[in-house]
Amino acid sequence: MPCHGIPGFGIVCTRERRRTCTECGGRCEVLCDWKLRGKRQGRTCSRGLCLRCASSPAPDKHLCPAHARKWAEHPKNPENARSA
């Protein structure tokens, strides 16, 4: 159980859940940044991924494999404009 000192308050101990990559089970390092629509609008996918399983379409942006496939076909993807 990790404990953290909070200045002016004291020490707080929490149960820290270790996240694993949803693809390979490795250590989670990033979360999927795909913006959701519908009832979950304003949120992101947030699937936990290791850097090996995540794709990065832009600096500080990561996608899970399912959303990376959607991005590959998306009309706003600049890679699609080059191949047309």
Phi-psi region of 31 (alpha: psi -120 to 50; beta: other; left: phi over 0): beta
DSSP state of 75: T
pLDDT digits (tens, 9 = 90+) for 39-65: 999 999 999 999 999 999 999 999 999
Cβ contact 34:67 at 8 Å? yes
Burial, 24: exposed, middle or buried (Cβ in 10 Å; 0-12, 13-18, 19+)?
A: exposed
- Nearest CA-CA partner of 56 in 79, 33, 35: 33
Q: Which pLDDT belongs to residue 19?
A: 84
The pLDDT tens digits of the residues spanning 7-27 come to 877 777 766 666 899 999 999
pLDDT value of position 81: 67
In the chain, what are the domain boundaries?
19-76
H or E element that contains 63: strand 61-63
